[in-house]
Amino acid sequence: MQTIFLTSCLDTYDKDINGNRIAKHFGNKNNILDNLKKYIKKFDNFLFVASDEYNTEYTDLYANAIFESFDMTLPFKKYEILDIRTEDKIDDLINKADFIFLCGGHLPTQNKFFNKINLKEKLYNTNAIICGGSAGSMNCAIDVYCPPEIEGESLDESFNRYLSGLGITNINILPHFSEFRNYILDGKKYIEEIIIPDSFKNKIYAINDGTYFIIDNGITTLYGEAYIIEDGKIIKINEDSKKICIE
């Protein structure tokens, strides 16, 4: 069976004063590096799956920072990108991959891309380790909870908050939780006025950067600080440096 890492993000780069990404060793917070070393069997082919197939400039900036960080921390022999430039090679790229990284970005845009290329079916028989970051993790769900995230989305009555995902897990994740605590979107408090009302419809696992899930052999283990948002309540369920089994 596949092994899946669902992360808020991998701490692979910092940004300078001009917003440029500076790659760095991503460390071992909550044993992420130890666990990647444990589960990855080969280090030949790394496949980076874009969040926006058409925004190749953004994809290259993001991907190159990730690649440089892995070269410092957990190097692979070859790095590839899956986007509009390589869609015609998707079967070969996935078949060769030892590690598939589903990157972050705008969740609905990525979801549309994943469905267009039938990524759910393409991943079904892969033996690669799959790792999601932010939106990439969220889109791994069967039914993806898609909260508004950019100006205007929470006011748009046609905005769809529930999408069809990759079907890897039934977990709905809200990444970057600490950053959203004081976030205001469309004049609304993001957690109190957008996320919590939706929690009456589904359970949401809110995780900070550095927290992640591993799904292996049908068992889901949570590493790091996390909260459940459900039925209008926020309940802390785990601390950094600790792990719990949730399924």
Query: Facing residues of 220 across strands?
Result: 215
Q: What are phi and psi of 84, to 5 degrees?
A: -60, -25
Tokens of 221: 């283990």
CA–CA dist 208, 175 (Å, integer): 6
Nearest residue to 134 via CA among 101, 164, 160, 112: 101
pLDDT of residue 1: 64
CA–CA dist 166, 143 (Å, integer): 8
206-229 confidence digits (pLDDT tens): 999 999 999 999 899 999 999 999
Q: What is the number of other CB atoms lying within 10 angstroms of the CB of residue 18? A: 5
CB 230 within 8 A of CB 204: yes
User: What mean pLDDT do residues 21-42 have?
Assistant: 96
What 3-state DSSP class applies to 42? Answer: coil
CATH of the domain at 39: 3.40.50.880
Helices (H), 41-189: 56-73, 90-96, 107-116, 119-122, 135-138, 177-180
Nearest residue to 126 via CA among 103, 101, 97: 97
Residue 247 has pLDDT above 80, yes or no: no
Q: Which residue segment(s) compose the domain that 185 sits in?
A: 3-245
User: What mean pLDDT do residues 133-138 have?
Assistant: 98
Q: Which amino acid is at 165?
A: G
What is the total count of domains within the chain? 1
Q: Is the dihedral of CA 115, 213, 71, 135 positive or negative?
A: positive
CA atoms within 13 A on the CB side of 194: 27
What is the 8-class DSSP label of residue 50?
P
pLDDT above 70 covers a percentage of the chain that reads 100
CB 226 within 8 A of CB 211: yes
Q: Which amino acid is at 54?
A: Y
CA–CA dist 167, 226 (Å, integer): 22
Chain mean pLDDT for the chain: 96
Q: Are strands 129-133 and 3-7 parallel, antiparallel or unpaired?
A: parallel
User: What mean pLDDT do residues 59-68 have?
Assistant: 96
140-195 confidence digits (pLDDT tens): 999 999 999 999 999 999 999 999 999 999 999 999 999 999 999 999 999 999 99
Residue 15 has pLDDT above 90, yes or no: no
